């Protein structure tokens, strides 16, 4: 990880949704920078255990798994307390867990609203609340994983886009609430990993054609930005970093 190598030694990072996809890449990069990592999962326990095993083989006692449904607000305080007790504290919280699916206006339901707002907005809020004391003690950091569609809505994904827009606003609000001890920033990724509901080649090419760098990014691009905030940005808070290859410059 270049200059960030072992820059996070002695710190503990909790990454929600850390077992798979972008979350797992964030976990690997924070671990490579020296942090102890708490890999949160809900249903992906096998993947989380495999990732923790891989990281513990590289550095003994450096990774642990924690399980919780982030929609259950009461469970979030227990999640933070469990991580802090097992790891000896908490200094970095990465709110990465998310749900993503279309909600056209004509068919959106109350259950979809509750689910999408719960994972993308309520969970980051109540995790920040639960972790505030530990993070203040550590003079730590929160990184929220937002989306460029929190800056401009994605057609057909009204609730998801609204939740991510609110997460961006929450980031700025938390930066004020938790200052001066805790820094709070967000990353707004663009096309770094295609949705699991696969897009066809034409859809992918249409997205890439409206990206200044004319290519898709990767989960590592987001993970490197998280490490930047954690290791190299001690005077940065309340900021939203678009990691999108210039996609947000060509709507």
At 87-132, the pLDDT tens digits run 999 999 999 999 999 999 999 999 999 999 999 999 999 999 999 9
How many Cα atoms within 13 Å fall on the side-chain side of residue 74?
Answer: 0
Task: Report yes or no: 191 and 247 within 8 Å, Cβ to Cβ.
Answer: yes
pTM confidence score:
0.95
Buried b / exposed e along 127-150 (16+ C-beta atoms within 10 A): bbebbbebbeebebbbbbbbbbbb
Q: Are 150 and 164 in contact (CB under 8 A)?
A: yes
Average pLDDT, the chain: 94
> Where do the domains of the chain lie, and which CATH numbers do they carry?
2-243 (3.40.50.720)
Reported as a single tens digit per residue, the pLDDT across 15-49 is 999 999 999 999 999 999 999 999 999 999 999 99
Is the per-residue pLDDT at 197 higher than 80?
Answer: no
Rg (CA), the chain: 17
What residues are labeled active site?
A: 160
245 and 213 in contact (C-beta within 8 Å)? yes
**What are φ and ψ of residue 242, in 5° steps?**
-80, 120
* Cβ within 8 Å of residue 48, ≥6 positions away: 18, 19, 39, 40, 41, 65, 67
């Amino acid at each position: 990880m270049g200059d960030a190598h072992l820059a996070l030694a002695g710190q503990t990072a909790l990454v929600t949704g850390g077992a798979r996809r972008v979350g797992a890449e964030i976990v690997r990069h924070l671990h490579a920078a020296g942090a102890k990592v708490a890999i949160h999962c809900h249903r992906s326990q096998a993947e989380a255990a495999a990732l923790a095993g891989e990281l513990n083989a590289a550095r003994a006692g450096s990774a642990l798994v924690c399980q919780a449904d982030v929609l259950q607000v009461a469970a979030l305080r227990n999640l933070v307390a469990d991580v802090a007790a097992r790891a000896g504290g908490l200094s970095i919280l990465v709110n990465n867990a998310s749900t993503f699916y279309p909600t056209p206006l004509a068919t959106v339901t109350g259950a979809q609203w509750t689910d999408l707002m719960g994972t993308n907005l309520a969970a980051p809020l109540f995790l920040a609340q639960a972790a505030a004391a530990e993070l203040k003690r550590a003079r730590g950091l929160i990184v929220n994983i937002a989306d460029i569609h929190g800056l401009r809505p994605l057609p057909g994904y009204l609730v998801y886009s609204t939740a991510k827009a609110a997460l961006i606003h929450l980031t700025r609000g938390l930066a004020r609430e938790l200052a001066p001890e805790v820094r709070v920033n967000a990353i707004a990724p663009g096309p770094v990993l295609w949705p699991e509901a696969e897009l066809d080649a034409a859809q992918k090419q249409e997205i890439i054609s409206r990206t200044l760098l004319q290519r898709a990014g990767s989960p590592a691009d987001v993970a490197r930005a998280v490490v930047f905030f954690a290791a190299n940005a001690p005077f940065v808070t309340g900021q939203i970093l678009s990691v999108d290859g210039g996609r947000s410059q060509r709507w």
